[in-house]
Amino acid sequence: MPPARPSGRVRFGGEASGPRVQSGGHSVVRPLRRRHRGPIAVTVPQTEGAARPVVLIAEELSPATVEALGPDFEIRYADGSDRSELLAAISDADAILVRSATKVDAEALAVAKSLKVVARAGVGLDNVDVKAATQAGVMVVNAPTSNIVSAAELAVGLMLAAARHISPAHASLKNGEWKRSKFTGIELYEKTVGIVGLGRIGVLVAQRLSAFGMTVIAYDPYVQAGRAAQMGVRLVDLETLLAESDFMSVHLPKTTETAGLIGADQLAKAKSSLVLVNAARGGIVDEDALYAALKEGRIAGAGLDVFATEPCTDSPLFELENVVATPHLGASTDEAQEKAGIAVARSVRLALSGELVPDAVNVQGGVIAEDVRPGIPLTEKLGRIFTGLAGEVAQQIDVEVRGEITDFDVKVLELAALKGVFCDVVPDQVSYVNAPLLAAERGTAVRLITDADSPDHRNLITLRGTLADGSQVSVSGTLVGITQKERIVEVNGFDVDLEPTEHLAFLTYVDRPGMVGTVGRILGDASINIAGMQVSRDEKGGQALVALSVDSAIGAEAMAEIETAIEASSVRGIDLT
């Protein structure tokens, strides 16, 4: 019979957790003796006299970038736009930090024999050959959220400037002319704006333009209509967007599919009053077609920050008074540059210490999807809990991933699980690089199992293993709600609903009256405060599990007293600090 549900069910995406099959009891094993583990110090281990890793900064970055790198590296500088200087400087570099002017292509990667990570202090990766880097075993990282506010604000600024003819009016006034009637503009209020690409920047633009009293429609084939509706945005196809929009703002990455997406045929469907803004990537809007539409009055104006070829200082578009243009300033704010530099500096530190880098775009040849990333720290904690429950290194470990995230590459969750499993077993630092090796050295077979079917949760991660005596250990977790709160939802076949806090305990015993009170009394006498408690059982009078989160670690003496008092078949104290 499956274990009874505890009171207060965990919910994620409107789905309640369901029963699981009990794995069976275990013989008493004392908790593992754990060494103290504070926050991971992300530093590169150095032997006395060893040379520090070389970090090459190939473009101007904020001073905060160097500060964030810290003293563990030899910092060198080069002009990345000077090809010969770049190739000479990168030859013995362990990491390179760039912005948009330095091209890290197959040639540069072939020269860089020691290179481990390419860090782009920004969002786009047009100047980095990610495929060649992956083939060379070089990690590529960027700062995907560093400039989203700056880019969104610039797009709105370009829209306002084009709508009110700010640039030509300014030039006219500087020339001594006062021509108010010539520069009559239009309001954004009660107009329709079409957002092409409802990603992070597109969403910020939509939010800001909604505040202007605009009706927001969007084209994005990868966004669900329900999600858009929650933001007050109506999803339409591109043809409808062009036909209905008074203003249009492009926020797509440049790919083979999006290059030339807005061309002559698309602009022919637009209103003559359309003001088009592109602050995303050059080449998404066909510049020749845009020039013709503006010149012939088939659309009203444009605001441009990006161009098909950059630097761009000579374009027929610059001759038109109904065009306001800037030299790719989307990320050019002090705040964005500082955030980008700090983000990639932290990523470089993680990469050179063998840790998983959240902003890596090529881990084991694949991209870490946004939907998968929140599950990484949860899975690592599940690995530590698994080892604590097992009391030994398992012979076989299955990392089971169920639900919607199996649409993506979830290989990184297997690495996260192994890192957690061995974190408290070996004295040395465990990383995402050496965790599989540690498993192989200890004869632990590991399997990653995925299944899109997850009847109880939107997504569920389970670690299930076989010990030397043939017994089974399992622990499952999920992320709950909009804030993605971590929850443990199953332990050895028992349903629970517990936050994975720093100090946990799991007690298995025969169900009978008074046991919970006994546990509470012993912990109270030891001055240990209970933060949360779950009781689950397979049947009345059968096996029961108490899952505890406590404010401080339970000492060996208190744990032994509990074990004796409730005649526990298993007691486990787990420290996640």
pLDDT in tens, 149-179: 999 999 999 999 999 999 999 999 999 999 9
pLDDT in tens, 427-439: 766 767 678 878 8
For 289, residues 6+ apart whose C-beta sits below 8 A from its C-beta are 262, 263, 264, 267
d(CA 267, CA 269) in angstroms, rounded, equals 5
d(CA 218, CA 228) in angstroms, rounded, equals 8
**pLDDT of 48 higher than 90:** no
49 lies in some domain:
no
Q: Name the band, by pLDDT with cuts 50, 70 and 90, for residue 366.
A: low
d(CA 479, CA 484) in angstroms, rounded, equals 5
pLDDT at 426: 81
Q: Per the structure block, which two tokens stand in for 520?
A: 């509470």
pLDDT at 363: 65
Q: Per the structure block, which two tokens stand in for 348?
A: 């470089």
**pLDDT of 31 higher than 80:** no
Same domain, 113 and 169: no
What mean pLDDT comes out for the span 247-272? 93
Query: Domain range spanning residue 256?
Result: 148-325
Q: Give residue 348's identity as a one-letter amino acid code.
A: V
pLDDT in tens, 176-204: 999 999 999 999 999 999 999 998 899 99
State the CATH number of the domain containing residue 174.
3.40.50.720
Same domain, 113 and 163: no
Same domain, 435 and 464: yes
What mean pLDDT comes out for the span 118-138? 86
pLDDT at 440: 86
* Residue 281 is a catalytic residue: yes
Same domain, 373 and 454: yes
Q: Name the band, by pLDDT with cuts 50, 70 and 90, for residue 424.
A: confident
Q: Give the number of C-alpha atoms closer than 13 A to the C-alpha of residue 476, restricted to the C-beta side.
A: 28
1 lies in some domain:
no
User: What pairs with residue 544 in β-bridges?
Assistant: 509, 537
* Residue 165 is a catalytic residue: no
Same domain, 399 and 543: yes
What mean pLDDT comes out for the span 122-133? 86
Backbone phi and psi for residue 486, each to the nearest 5 degrees, phi listed first: -80, 135
* Catalytic residue chosen out of the listed positions 15, 244, 310, 321: 310
d(CA 72, CA 293) in angstroms, rounded, equals 55
* Residue 512 is a catalytic residue: no
Q: Per the structure block, which two tokens stand in for 319?
A: 């001759």
Specify the pairing of strand 530-537 against strand 543-550. antiparallel
Same domain, 117 and 209: no
* Residue bearing the bigger pLDDT, 270 or 11: 270
- The DSSP output letter for 230 is H
361 lies in some domain:
no
537 lies in some domain:
yes
**pLDDT of 493 higher than 50:** yes
* Catalytic residue chosen out of the listed positions 99, 120, 251, 328: 328
44 lies in some domain:
no
Report how many domains make up the chain: 3
Same domain, 31 and 88: no
- Which residue reads 């020749």 in tokens? 288
**By C-alpha distance, which of 471, 428, 488 is closest to 570?**
471
* Residue bearing the bigger pLDDT, 534 or 136: 534
Q: Name the band, by pLDDT with cuts 50, 70 and 90, for residue 369.
A: confident
pLDDT at 458: 92
pLDDT at 17: 35
* Residue bearing the bigger pLDDT, 316 or 468: 316
What mean pLDDT comes out for the span 335-363? 86
- By percentage, how much of the chain surpasses pLDDT 70? 90
Q: Per the structure block, which two tokens stand in for 525?
A: 């006498």
Same domain, 557 and 437: yes
State the CATH number of the domain containing residue 376.
3.30.1330.90
**pLDDT of 40 higher than 60:** no
Same domain, 549 and 494: yes
538 lies in some domain:
yes
Same domain, 382 and 470: yes
Q: Name the band, by pLDDT with cuts 50, 70 and 90, for residue 404.
A: very high
pLDDT at 24: 32
358 lies in some domain:
no
Same domain, 171 and 287: yes
What mean pLDDT, rounded, does the chain reach? Answer: 87
Same domain, 195 and 96: no
5 lies in some domain:
no
**pLDDT of 572 higher than 70:** yes
pLDDT at 297: 96
Per DSSP, helices labelled H in 102-147 are: 106-111, 130-135
What mean pLDDT comes out for the span 129-148? 86
